[in-house]
Amino acid sequence: MKQEIKLIVTDLDGTFLNEDKKVSAANKQAIASCRQKGMQFAIASGRPLEPVLELMKEWGIEEHCDYVLAMNGAEIFDCHTKDKESFYQLPADVIKNIMKHYENMNVRFYLFDKNIRYVNYSDDETKKAAEVFGEIEVQTDMFALCSRPFTKLIVECDPEDMSIVEKHGQEYQSDSCTCFKSAPNLFEFVDPRVNKSYGLKQLCERKGFSMKEVLAFGDTSNDVEMLKDAGVGVWMSNGTQDAKEVANAYTLTNEEDGVAVYLNTHIL
* Same domain flag for 67 and 103: no
Q: Do the domain assignments include residue 256?
A: yes
pLDDT tens digits, 29-41: 999 999 999 999 9
Query: Helices in the chain by DSSP H: which ranges?
Result: 25-36, 49-59, 92-101, 124-132, 142-145, 162-172, 196-207, 224-229, 241-246, 258-262
> What tens-digit pLDDT sequence spans the chain (268 residues)?
456 899 999 999 999 999 999 999 999 999 999 999 999 999 999 999 999 999 999 999 999 999 999 999 999 999 999 999 999 999 999 999 999 999 889 999 999 999 999 999 999 989 998 998 999 999 999 999 999 999 999 999 999 999 999 998 888 777 889 998 888 999 999 999 999 999 999 999 999 999 999 999 999 999 999 999 999 999 999 999 999 999 999 999 999 999 999 999 999 9
The CATH code of the domain that includes 80 is: 3.40.50.1000
Last residue of a domain, one of 140, 172, 190: 190
The answer to whether the pTM exceeds 0.85 is yes
Same domain assignment for residues 82 and 203: yes
Q: In this structure, are 11 and 42 located in the same domain? A: yes
Cβ count within 10 A of residue 163: 11
CA atoms of 95 and 213, how far apart (whole Å)? 37
- Domains in the chain: how many in total? 2
Which CATH number do you get for residue 130?
3.30.1240.10
- Whether residues 134 and 185 share a domain: the answer is yes
Nearest Cα neighbor of 216 from 189, 239, 194 is 239
Across the beta sheet with 178-183, the strand order is 136-139, 116-119, 108-113, 152-156, 186-190, 178-183
Query: Is residue 165 in a domain?
Result: yes
Question: Which letter, b or e, does each residue of 31-70 get, where b requires 16 or more Cβ atoms within 10 Å of its Cβ?
Answer: bebbbeeebbbbbbbbbbbbbbbebbeebebeebbbbbbb
Rounded Cα–Cα distance for residues 267 and 136 (Å): 38
Question: 177: which strand partners?
Answer: 174
Q: Are residues 102 and 118 in the same domain?
A: yes
Select from 174, 190, 206 the last residue of a domain: 190
> Do 76 and 98 fall within a single domain?
no
- Count of C-beta atoms within a 10 Å radius of residue 255: 14
DSSP state of 33: H
Let me know if residue 29 belongs to a domain.
yes
Instruction: Confirm if 239 and 14 have CB atoms less than 8 A apart.
Output: yes
| Same structural domain, 43 and 69 | yes
Is residue 139 domain-shared with residue 17, that is, in the same domain?
no
Q: What is the pLDDT of residues 154-172, one digit of tens each?
A: 999 999 999 999 998 888 7
Range of the domain at 58: 7-86+194-267
Residues 245 and 185 in one domain: no
CA angle 54, 55, 60 (to 5 degrees): 110
Query: Is 206 in the same domain as 173?
Result: no
Residues 258, 203 share a domain: yes
Q: Which of 190, 222, 253 is the last residue of a domain?
A: 190
Same structural domain for residues 182 and 111?
A: yes
How far is it, in rounded angstroms, from Cα 41 to Cα 37?
12
